[in-house]
Amino acid sequence: GASLEALKDVKAVVMDKTGTITRGNFVVQRVCPAEGADIDENELLWLAAACEGASTHPIAKSILAARQTDYPAADSIREQAGEGVEAVIGGKTVLCGNRKLLERHGIDLAGFTGTPGSTEVLLARDGQLLGHIVIADTVKADAKQAMDRMQAQGLTTAMLTGDAQETADAVAHELGIHEVRARLLPEDKLTALTELREKHGAVMFVGDGINDAPVLAGADVGAAMGSGADAAIEAADVVFMNADLSSIPASVQIARGARRISHQNIAFALGVKLLVMVLGLAGIASMWLAVFADSGVAMLCVLNSIRMLYIKTE
Ligand code: ADP
Ligand code: MG
């Protein structure tokens, strides 16, 4: 339908990072109390779990999975999309999220180096940095191959993420992704997409629906990973049946192949009709030739179209 039409003209593929390019199966690697903070590793993880207890974000799940003990109930919890969680625990304000969240609350991060290149969750209580938790995510097995194929198809590749710049750059470098926009809030992702469209032409956005449903709806073609959230599946034009990145170049190849076949059909049908018309004017076309030029040609076009089902996607 209309999406297949739009898909064949796509010039750039813009992808979300977490859950789309990476698996989104975060695992806690290290728990690092800040120098001089009066807290140990266990307590830091315990506090993080208290903040993340109600979140469904893959980061939250990894923290809950890593904790050793039960965690205290928070007095209140507020999740800020693309940043983390603000909680009140035992009457104290606790922040659990990225640098952006802490900076916005005026926490001094001047002396904080953290672990560049990895996804970090920072914790602060009552305006003081307590430490950070290092968590790792892995890129999908077919990511490099899928990026190479998109490049061979002449597509520009881009990645949007709410994660830190260094983490985003490391992934983009590993996979040869052309453009990177990091530290984006969910609403910034739509702005970034609009910029990329102005620069490159029609864009396809691929996401998993966690913090990216508005972008999915705003792209020329919005595609949701089959593993994605329900919101994604509703906002998308295309839904992949699996979580493989190779579905992206495959879908573009199918759309382009379908265009080629429909052009063949139009040329063939008009050609035969024109020929029979000329023969008719010359007085050498039979009734049966005319029937063939109409119904026979239509039949052959249908048969040719069936080839669309056999477009090789490797
Ligand atoms: P992406 O854009 O890579 O798909 P998200 O928009 O879901 O990622 O989140 C962006 C960033 O916001 C994360 O990398 C993380 O730093 C922070 N974040 C979001 N939700 C949480 C949470 N529940 N706990 C801690 N940090 C979070
Ligand atoms: Mg996401």
- Give me 139's structure tokens: 């890129």
Residues paired with residue 135 on neighbouring β-strands, in sequence order:
28, 119
Question: For position 70, what pLDDT does the model report?
Answer: 84
pLDDT category of residue 99 using cuts at 50, 70 and 90: very high
User: What's the whole-number average pLDDT of the chain?
Assistant: 90
pLDDT category of residue 307 using cuts at 50, 70 and 90: confident
pLDDT category of residue 149 using cuts at 50, 70 and 90: very high
Distance CA 238, CA 233 (A): 8
Backbone angles phi, psi at 253, to 5 degrees: -65, -40
In which region does residue 78 sit, left (phi positive, over 0), alpha (psi from -120 to 50) or beta (all else)? beta
**Percentage of the chain surpassing pLDDT 70?**
98
Nearest to 117 by CA among 164, 69, 48, 185: 164
110-134 tens-digit pLDDT: 888 888 778 899 999 999 999 999 9
For ligand 1, which residues put their CB under 6 angstroms from it?
A: 16-18, 52, 55, 57, 59-60, 79, 82-85, 96-98, 119, 121, 161-163, 210-211
From the list 9, 16, 38, 137, the catalytic residue is 16
Residues with CB under 5 A from ligand 2 (ion): 16, 18-19, 210
pLDDT at residue 2 greater than cutoff 70: no
**How far apart, in Å, do the first and last CA atoms of the chain sit?**
23
To test ligand 1's pocket by mutation, which of 23, 55, 98 has the most ligand atoms within 8 angstroms of CB? 98
Minimal-distance CA residue to ligand 1 atom 27: 84
Average pLDDT over residues 169-177: 94
37-81 tens-digit pLDDT: 899 999 999 999 999 999 988 899 999 999 888 888 899 999 999
Question: Range with the lowest mean pLDDT among 87-91, 138-142, 213-217?
Answer: 213-217
> Using an 8 Å Cβ cutoff, are 134 and 28 in contact?
yes
Confirm whether 126 is a catalytic residue.
no
Q: Which residue has the higher pLDDT, 234 or 44?
A: 44
- Is pTM beyond 0.85? Reply is no
What strands lie across the sheet with 203-207, from one edge to the other?
179-181, 156-160, 12-16, 203-207, 221-224, 238-239
Question: For position 154, what pLDDT does the model report?
Answer: 96
